[in-house]
Structure 1
Amino acid sequence: MNKKPSVLLVGATGYLGSFLLKELVNQNFSVKVVVRNPQKLPQVENRPYEVIEGEVTKPSTIKNCCKDVDVVISTVGITRQKDGLTYMDVDYQANVNVLEEAKQSSVKKFIYVSVLKGDKKRDVKICAAKEKFVDELSQSGLDYTIIRPNGFFSDMTDFYQMAKRGRVYLFGDGQGKMNPIHGEDLAEVCVSAIDKSVLEIKVGGPEVLTLNEIAHLAFSALNKKPKITYIPDWIRLAILKLAKTFTSSKTYGPIEFFLTFMGLDNMTAPKHGQHTLEEYFNQGAGANRP
């Protein structure tokens, strides 16, 4: 029987990374992780994996992290701005730092998680950083796969929190469609890419929903009467302009990403998985994280 490749996972303490670590270990891969704070790693019962303490934004702390590694999987990126770091610092440069180590250690494959339509939205700061790294990876000489999910269940927690406060605000008519994916289902896709010769995988969850339907699922999970306010799209565009003018890049970045993608009519991707958003909301919108 062929020996499974050894894997370096970068970003193991994030939403997707925590599911990925569990999936890799459960499938008996030899796993190493690079983390800044090992205490934030998810619990994986009685399964060994190697922990490297380091910061991917500081190349000297991850030297030789790819030694004896066959495959790198990176989910590194900023979800909430912190530490004064920019998207270019993390989503681009930190991944470049890992890529340089991968090249030096002759890693066979690099799997990177970007975002659906990110290559079409390079004017958005987070997408610009992610796609700049995709460009770098595609020219690296390594085999690679870009995973393009259209949204995590964890992103949908914003709807749940609005519903919890009593009212959900939607831009336009709320008919924009998407099929966000659970971290566990997406982890399966990422791990399956190890053995696939494919440059890009676009993926979403099993159910296509409108933003209206997502809002109603959130209210239903909370046993609350739906209250939805529809905000004209010109206000979304005005907020984008005002935020860019009057807020710092730390504040503006997440607002820009959210408002840009909430304004798209269609963020659907090929269906995968079995976890439903209704199930996620009913469990408290995040209580089922590993």
Structure 2
Amino acid sequence: MRLLGLKTFRHGIHPPESKDETSGLAIRQFPFSPLLIIPVAQSMGKPPILEVEEGHEVVRGQRLARADGFMSVSLHAPASGIVRKIGLTPGISGRMVTGIFLEPYPGSTQEVPPGKACDLETATPDEVIAAIQEAGVVGLGGASFPTHVKLKFPEGKFIDTLIINGVECEPYLTTDHRVMLEQSDDLFNGVRYLLKATGAKRAIIGVEANKPDAVEHLQAHLPSDLPATVDMLNVKYPQGAEKMLITALLDREVPSGGLPLDVHVLCTNVATTAE
């Protein structure tokens, strides 16, 4: 549906946005701390299998743990350094989980290491999905669900539309806003991979009207050969919830207890796509 010319959903609330303090700040990298503690379980899926031991030297981007089945993703080293310990550490849920205690070398780079090439021209959808699993990509919108699992549909299911969620309707949060402004090339490249993996015919990048600079930037830099649009949405919470977003952008309603796949849609977060 539309409200004052902008797409949206029924009802919702308008909490204070409180985004001004960070929306204009560029993304910055923190220096590595003297000790990095890396929980092996990094997603809602099954923890991967460790491939390193105490005392091992590793380089940034090296695989530390391999995926253990389809509901698992690989884990890679965030820095070059020495594995000082493998032991228990608090996970994000508060439970104790296995962690890798990595001491970075002082000169360890923060440059993104090149991954294994996956040629979009020649790769099959299954090969793209496997590459995403090996890269360790999980949802960055909050759920940490293994991304490759969402891309593998049950027999007889298909999608026609890929929705890239750049709504970021929560107060204070501006991470996705900055990704859209600073990493649009990565975002568009990610859209290409997701279109290839899913077979979707088009993509829609949904952005709320309180981020006009992001909308303008994405529309100005959208590749002419990419079957995608950038749609501006009314500002409302919780428009970033995928069921609300699907209704706002496509006027389709996910059935009670159902999934976006039931209305031929897949939603993924801006930051996830840019990864």
TM-score, with length taken from structure 2: 0.29
The structure with the greater share of residues assigned to helix is 1
